[in-house]
Amino acid sequence: MSNFTYDWPLVGNQQITEFLEKSIQNNNISGTYIFNGPDNLGKTTLAKSFASALLCSAKESGSGRLPCGQCRSCHQFKQSEIAADKGAVQAEIGEGHGDFHVIKKEKDKKNISVEQIREFIRVLSMSSFLGGYKIGIIKHADSLSVNAANALLKTLEEPRPKVVIILIAEDMESLPATIASRARVLQFRSVPTDTIYEYLINEHKASRSQAKDLSRLALGRPALAVKFFENKDTYTFYQEQVNVFLDFKNQTIGERFLSIESLLGKKTTGQEAVRIAGRVLQVWQGALRDLLLMEYGFFNIIQHQITKEKLDALKPLFSLTDIFRLFKAIEAAEENIFYNVNPKLALEEVAVKV
């Protein structure tokens, strides 16, 4: 049995890192994994770290730090991560580490295409450049087109030795059962608020007041808490989304529509508008959840402590019937967006019901 040390870039979900460590130590690596769970939990970051560990030359020694960060493979892997961050498929396949490849949805596309998957399979079928594993990551795997999923399934049905495919998904139910049944599924779960709080203080030197607000605001998603802490624009835009919803009650219909336009900017159609509108609806749902918690007296666990004064002022204006009616309106808007209703129109339909 191997004896390695690891420093996984993950907050919480310790059962997953322990499983991956045992898999490496026992040389029991699956051909396909699904990393499933909400966004901003570190799924992609951990998948890359796991891939780097499998590709690391130090793995052959049976002991030491994985990944070592010093070998040829580790240096090439860093270049692959830089290439993957460029976003284009052409940049992600064929640059950096020849045995590591990443694909994701192309900009303004709803699905990963069959052409992307065929190219992905082609590069993974080539011999390893360094004589070890070939590893591929599919981000947004729950957005595979039907033809893309079928093309991938053929590869999963006939796995090649030392080829590992990691699918990153938020909603595994959107993946064909035939794919899920051929994979080792690792379920990522929301991280306790206290864990995120300590992480922000110890690793990012946040103040206690910052850590308290951001750990609650992140709602179990440590990567989101870090984004809020490190990027003022991200934090400000989130606050704007909350305030837009909370201000609806005191606005005319026209004013509400103008507020929605300010959130979407020029992106009123296309996949970018779909993405923004989906995030906005999640934020509105969180603000509504806070009103529900306050209705039942759970003031100490509301998510949006940053807007507590405004929530206090609005609480008398929302009955339980109002709150549950708006929950249904938001769910309907999310479904409408999924079925290609104009994102701006979907948000406006919620706004008129506040």
Q: Residue 89 maps to which CATH number? A: 3.40.50.300
When the pLDDT of each residue in the chain is averaged and rounded to a whole number, the result is: 92
Both 181 and 54 in one domain: the answer is: yes
| Count of domains forming the chain | 3
pLDDT (average), residues 268-297: 93
In sequence order, which ranges of 85-113 are alpha helices (DSSP H)? Answer: 89-92
Residue/partner pairs of 172-179 with CB below 8 Å, 24 or more apart: 172/34, 172/36, 172/142, 174/142, 174/143, 175/34, 175/141, 175/142, 175/144, 175/149, 176/149, 178/153, 179/149, 179/152, 179/153
Q: Which of 186, 162, 256 is nearest to 14 (CA)?
A: 186
Both 159 and 216 in one domain: the answer is: no
Q: Which of 236, 224, 226, 227 is nearest to 202 (CA)?
A: 226
Both 16 and 145 in one domain: the answer is: yes
State percent of the chain over pLDDT 90.
80
CA end-to-end span of the chain: 61
CB atoms within 10 A of CB 243: 16
What would the pLDDT profile of 135-184 be if each residue is shown by its tens digit?
999 999 999 999 999 999 999 999 899 999 999 999 989 999 999 999 99
Both 142 and 269 in one domain: the answer is: no
What would the pLDDT profile of 28-44 be if each residue is shown by its tens digit?
999 999 999 999 999 99
Q: What is the pLDDT of residue 107?
A: 80
Q: What is the pLDDT of residue 86?
A: 57
What would the pLDDT profile of 8-27 be if each residue is shown by its tens digit?
999 999 999 999 999 999 99
Both 153 and 131 in one domain: the answer is: yes
Residue reference for tokens 């204006």 = 317
User: What's 290's domain CATH number?
Assistant: 1.20.272
Q: What is the pLDDT of residue 90?
A: 40
Q: What is the residue range of 332's domain?
A: 232-351
What would the pLDDT profile of 51-89 be if each residue is shown by its tens digit?
999 999 988 887 789 999 999 999 888 887 776 565 444
Q: What is the pLDDT of residue 253?
A: 97
Q: What is the pLDDT of residue 349?
A: 97
**Residue of higher predicted confidence among 48 and 62:** 48
Both 254 and 144 in one domain: the answer is: no
User: Residue 24 half-sphere exposure, CB side, CA atoms within 13 Å?
Assistant: 29
Distance, CA of 56 to CA of 132 (rounded, Å): 9
Q: Are 337 and 291 in contact (CB under 8 A)?
A: no
Q: Is the dihedral of CA 189, 190, 194, 197 positive or negative?
A: positive
Q: Are 151 and 118 in contact (CB under 8 A)?
A: yes
